[in-house]
Amino acid sequence: QVQLQESGPALVKPSETLSLTCTVSGDSISTYYWSWVRQPPGKGLEWIGYIYYNGGTNYSPSLKGRVTMSVDTSRNQFSLNLTAVTAADTAVYFCARERRGRGDCDYWGQGTLVTVSS
Amino acid sequence: DIQLTQSPSSLSASVGDRVAITCRASQSVTKYLNWYQQQPGRAPKVLIYGASTLQSGVPSRFSGSGSGTDFTLTISNLQPEDFATYYCQQSYSIPRTFGQGTRLEMK
């Protein structure tokens, strides 16, 4: 059974960097695309980007310049860094597995709420 | 970016009803259109991928149709657990984009 689990600080100060890690169990990270999606409170889903096991990435243009993703195949983890955060970045952040060739996300983490506030 | 517009934004229905949610894309996504269900406080769950393929384990009362720019998610014989928010998503191009969501409420 594939499981994903997000971890990281729940509170980040404005202008600082939001850092989250997703740990994958039940599957090797060395396949599929590994995605981040966020959802502001009471709002819809926003795709942030994805990373492949070899480090290849695709990011949303709306966040480009602030977002970087990385992968650690030895730990079966991938990570998200979002710099210069503002209150608009307050959201539940989900990690997910995107299936190659189809593009849907078939496994998701439970999500973690990150609040940007001083 | 490809914009996805769902209609309606909200919908009231009763157990046993048949409902349809539409998703229109701003340009063709061929068959790369996926549907998700999200319960409050939970992660989204894929129901349909490739416009019409039912995800393993999803009840057959869910079905998807369409291609190009116009797509429909149909739920037959609504069950109590189907009252949730539904999102379409295109995986034709980067960036992936989602519709704004359709909230299905119990009448």
Confidence of residue B16 (pLDDT cuts 50, 70, 90): very high
Indicate whether A30 pLDDT > 90. Answer: no
* Distance to chain B for A48, nearest Cα, Å: 8
Confidence of residue A15 (pLDDT cuts 50, 70, 90): very high
Q: Tell me the C-alpha distance between B92 and B100, whole Å.
A: 18
Q: Kindly identify which residue of chain B lies nearest to residue A45, measuring between CA atoms.
A: B98
Residue B47's nearest CA partner among B73, B16, B26 is B73
Q: Count other Cβ atoms within 10 Å, centred on residue B38.
A: 19
Fill in the amino acid letter for B10: S
Q: Tell me the C-alpha distance between B18 and B35, whole Å.
A: 17
Q: What is the mean pLDDT of residues B64-93?
A: 98
- Percent of chain B at pLDDT > 70 equals 100
State both tokens at B92: 């034709």
Q: Answer whether B31 touches A (CB < 8 Å).
A: no
Q: Answer whether B86 touches A (CB < 8 Å).
A: no
Q: Say yes or no for a CB contact (<8 Å) between B43 and A111.
A: yes
Selecting from B32, B92, B97 the residue whose C-beta is nearest the C-beta of A47 gives B97
State both tokens at A93: 């952040």
A34 phi and psi, to 5 degrees?
-120, 120
Fill in the amino acid letter for A81: N
- The per-residue pLDDT for range A32-91, each reduced to its tens digit, is 999 999 999 999 999 999 999 999 999 999 997 899 999 999 999 999 999 999 999 999
Indicate whether A31 pLDDT > 90. Answer: no
Q: What is the mean pLDDT of residues B32-61?
A: 98
